Structure 1
Amino acid sequence: MLEEIDLFRLMGNRMRYLTERQSVVARNVANADTPGYQAQDTTPFTFNSALLRTGGMASNAGHAPALTLARTEPGHIGVAPTSAALQSATKNTSTNEKPDGNTVSLEEQMIKSTDIANGFALANAAYTKSLSLMKIAIDPGK
């Protein structure tokens, strides 16, 4: 039921992304001493890619078309849709290569892990607040 509401769908996508990214960071830390291991990261989560994943700000049930960017004035910059923005493919992000070929920086992974924890806290707060607002709308007397 909640997945039909765009905000909850967006927060769910954000939490799934953060879970995937935490898994990648954990794998990097686990392989910090593995010779030749290349540090990985996921592609950044953006609002636009989240809209494209959810089918736009409209339901996918055929009620309305997905939200698309349009160039309405000649001076506006057009945006070409790319499928690469939708993928969560991993890539090498570290530039500090050790003599054994390993590119994992534990400091970078610690910063990423903190960023992920902050992202979870923000998404959880938005999710919780939205649920409480729905409860107020359903039963305003409480």
Structure 2
Amino acid sequence: MFRAARYSAYHLETRDGYEQDEAYAEWLAGHRFDPAERWPWWIELVSAAVARGVEVRRARVVSEPVSAYIRYEYDLTTGHNVKAGEQVRWLPRRQANALLLPGNDLWLFDGSQVLFNHFDGDGRMTGEELVTEPGIVAHCVTAFEAIWDAATPHEEYKPT
């Protein structure tokens, strides 16, 4: 779906932690690595999309003080997401009270498709669900834009 996007690919993340993989374990142990070297396929995928005119945005709704996992994501964002061409913003959860948030993380493609990401309680992905029903898509577009407008750009956000 990412390769087929024509003008937009927006990602909403709302969890304070995801499955703890080897890279996260290394980071916790104090080993800092270049995310572009570890995940070059992401840099290539996003860079290619941006080069063909796709706007790639990622909004993260986070609790503060942030979890160790969110601090890990924050530390990797400049060398991974931003380097690839993504625009990234952060919204402290306490500032989201007036917003209606979707119940799951999601990707929005071209304002016409929503790919919901389903996770278990430990942050392991259990599946995806593609939805094209116009009412649900419109709700997700509206919610994402409200989150985006309220969120702080990565370059200005300082996690607590």
Q: Same fold (TM over 0.5)?
A: no
Instruction: Sort the TM-score into its range (normalised by shorter chain).
Output: under 0.3
Q: TM-score, normalised by structure 1?
A: 0.24
Task: Give the structure with higher Rg (CA).
Answer: 1
Q: TM-score, normalised by structure 2?
A: 0.23
